[in-house]
Structure 1
Amino acid sequence: MACAVFGIPQPDLADRWYDLRLCAETPAPAAPAGPTAPSSGAGGPAAPAFGFSLRAEYGWDALADADTVVVTSVPDACVSGEREVPPALVAELRRAAAAGARMVSLCTGAFALAAAGILDGRRATAHWSHTADLAKRYPGVTVDDSVLYVDDGDVLTSAGVAAGLDLCLHIVRRDLGARVANRLARRMVVPAHRPGGQAQFVDLSVPVADDDSLAPVLQWATANLERPLTVEDLARQARMSPRTFFRRLQAATGTTPLQWLLHQRLALAQYLLEATELPVERIGGLSGLGSAANLRRHFTARVGVSPTDYRRAFAARGSTAGP
């Protein structure tokens, strides 16, 4: 996920993109020009376990110069406790964090951050099948097994597979804004933005058949966010009782209708702040958040900055800069 999001330049989205560097305990020499066969010898990439291999040209010491460090996973033995996370990696992670790097883990990468003490006193997550081990081995970490990812400012953690992609896109959204993240997500054919608080897994005991899919009503809601929508309005549009609609939406998304609506309103507000010069008061109305004061309150609580500061950070630079 990290390579797909950060490793491929997107010149039509931003003039500058991320400079992704793969790091390993023993770096491999630069690949020769032209196609080569995978190598499992000393200094080369490891033998592929599932039909591919990665060539890491940098050692762990390169982490000290990183703005963002992403730990994608650790071996299963480090999860179970049969082996410790390599001390050399732990030392470099601590060094990078002390230097001010943003620390990110995907799935079992949280065990490496925890071993380095970076998650102590923080809320964090991992794939739900590993969170019990994470909490048991590192009691100083507040483990939340119910969310896709946790953004704790300079430390971010995610569950596995798709949730890791969600977190990577969330980072792009933080760094480059909603427009860039949404266009990248569309290019990758994935949802533009799933909030981190959405459940890792949802209750599928109540099937949603094609003839009563929620997709039409959710599309209708996103096209009418300026209206004061209620659960009753959505249920009526879906031709369901409010109780049935509430249960169906929560089963499908892991969140309540009002929280889903708030997320959609804030996403629209972010887009309008970036793409238009409309006053905050007008954006509050168009997004359905009402007054400018209400927009500021919800926006600051969810995004971490005020609408004015957000606009200043992203609308001013447009697509001319990237980390």
Structure 2
Amino acid sequence: MHRLGFVLSEGFQLMALATQAVFEFANDVVGDKFYGFACYSVAGGDLTSSSGVRIGTRPLASCTEADTWLVPGASDPIVAPAEPEVLRFLRRAGRHARRMAGLCTGGFVLAEAGLLDGRRATTHWLFARDMQARHPDVRVDDDRIFIVDGPVWTSAGMTAALDLALAMVEADLGGDVARAVAHKLVMPQRRTGGQSQHSELLELAPKSDRIQQALDYARGHLKQALSVEALAGVANLSPRQFSRVFAAETGQSPAKAVEGLRLEAARLMIEQSRHPLEVVARESGFRDRRHLREVFIRHFGVPPQLTRRGARSSG
């Protein structure tokens, strides 16, 4: 049996325990209790999550070993630093466990314990700068949903922990089992660690259905020209009125928004596929490979090839 230990502290984020469902369903898929898991805290007993739900835990001293230790985050890792006893325990556990994982801001706890020194790590984008400032020896990447650096795993906020857990299942039991678990959890896809924490459509956040429909159309037809006239037709507005309403609702021009959607699509293809850049450019609506490279560098500061290498090394 692969033993999983969740190290909790008062005020932990309850969402992190949703990862237990990933391992539970993995047991169902293989028809055996491959994973066993339990929650621990310094003294044991009931702990209260940030949402007020109470969870029973065992004392850390009662656990001799675990194969994987997972540390959920707190609502505010700056205000609620880790308990000294937890840090001492994790330092010892890190010498023997197969894996150590920081879920969301749980990465701060691993960093405080010194387990992230010299390693790449991620955390919730809202706290990434704080992590880098507090722990300069950690190479923080604030735009990945999870990162694996040797035996240490870290994830971005909230639902990204599910992706990390599924990746653990794939590492332990194979891709077919991981896909079956994702299907049981009704997840639209199993995201790889190289994916961005940010979504261009979420950033735009239009207020009206008309503008949302135009954006949905644009995202589904990136290979087309997507002129203002075409998008205005989808929204059933005149081009002038569409441009004015679009800018008021999103803070961007239609052309700028379309470029952002194309860059998002291109970046995902670059990170998740082996398609040549000529194909990526064509499928995401850029004129050619050179045009893609120019826009990519202007927006991200690095060429597409470097992004692809980085995504492969993080997985």
* Residue in 2 that maps onto 1:169: 166
* TM-fit CA distance, 1:214: 7.2
| Superposition pairs of residues 32-47 of structure 1, within 5 angstroms | 45-47=46-48
Please tell me whether residue 27 in structure 1 is matched to residue 53 in structure 2: no
Q: Indicate if the aligned counterparts of 2:144 and 2:197 stay in contact, CA closer than 8 A.
A: yes
* TM-fit CA distance, 1:146: 1.2
Which residue, 153, 162, 167 being the options, matches 1:156?
Answer: 153
* Residue in 1 that maps onto 2:189: 192
* Residue in 2 that maps onto 1:294: none
Q: 1:250 aligns to what SS in structure 2?
A: helix
Please tell me whether residue 259 in structure 1 is matched to residue 246 in structure 2: no
* Residue in 2 that maps onto 1:248: 261
Q: Deviations over 1:27-70 (max 9, x none)?
A: 23xxxxxxxxxxxxxxxx235653532111x2223565010000
* Residue in 2 that maps onto 1:53: 54
> Which letter does structure 2 place at the counterpart of 1:61?
A
* TM-fit CA distance, 1:178: 1.3
Of Structure 1 and Structure 2, the greater strand share is in 2
Count of residue correspondences: 233
* Residue in 2 that maps onto 1:3: 20
* TM-fit CA distance, 1:132: 1.4
* Residue in 1 that maps onto 2:285: none
The TM-score normalised by the length of structure 2 is 0.62
Q: 2:87 aligns to what SS in structure 1?
A: helix
Aligned partners of 1:182 and 1:9: how far apart in 2? 10
| Superposition pairs of residues 13-162 of structure 1, within 5 angstroms | 13-28=30-45, 45-47=46-48, 50=51, 52-56=53-57, 58-61=58-61, 64-74=64-74, 76=76, 79-80=77-78, 82=79, 84-162=81-159
> Which letter does structure 1 place at the counterpart of 2:164?
L
Aligned partners of 1:193 and 1:214: how far apart in 2? 24
* TM-fit CA distance, 1:177: 1.3
The TM-score normalised by the length of structure 1 is 0.61
Aligned partners of 1:85 and 1:257: how far apart in 2? 35
Change (3 A) 1:206 1:108: closer
* TM-fit CA distance, 1:166: 1.3
* TM-fit CA distance, 1:107: 0.8
Aligned partners of 1:140 and 1:260: how far apart in 2? 26
Q: Indicate if the aligned counterparts of 1:90 and 1:115 stay in contact, CA closer than 8 A.
A: yes
Q: Deviations over 1:202-243 (max 9, x none)?
A: 3333878447747996xxxxxxxxxxxxxxxx854x6759x9
Q: Indicate if the aligned counterparts of 1:148 and 1:158 stay in contact, CA closer than 8 A.
A: yes
> Which letter does structure 2 place at the counterpart of 1:177?
G
Change (3 A) 1:52 1:120: same
> Which letter does structure 1 place at the counterpart of 2:273?
L
Of Structure 1 and Structure 2, the greater helix share is in 2
* Residue in 2 that maps onto 1:205: 204
User: 5+ residue gaps in structure 1?
Assistant: 29-44, 218-233, 266-297, 306-323
Q: Deviations over 1:172-223 (max 9, x none)?
A: 1211111111111111111332121211113333878447747996xxxxxx
RMSD, matched Cα: 3.5
User: 5+ residue gaps in structure 2?
Assistant: 1-17, 228-255, 277-307
Q: Indicate if the aligned counterparts of 1:166 and 1:193 stay in contact, CA closer than 8 A.
A: yes
Aligned partners of 2:216 and 2:274: how far apart in 1? 20
Aligned partners of 1:46 and 1:257: how far apart in 2? 39
* TM-fit CA distance, 1:264: 9.3
Q: Deviations over 1:261-284 (max 9, x none)?
A: 61799xxxxxxxxxxxxxxxxxxx
Q: Bigger shift: 138-147 or 201-210?
A: 201-210
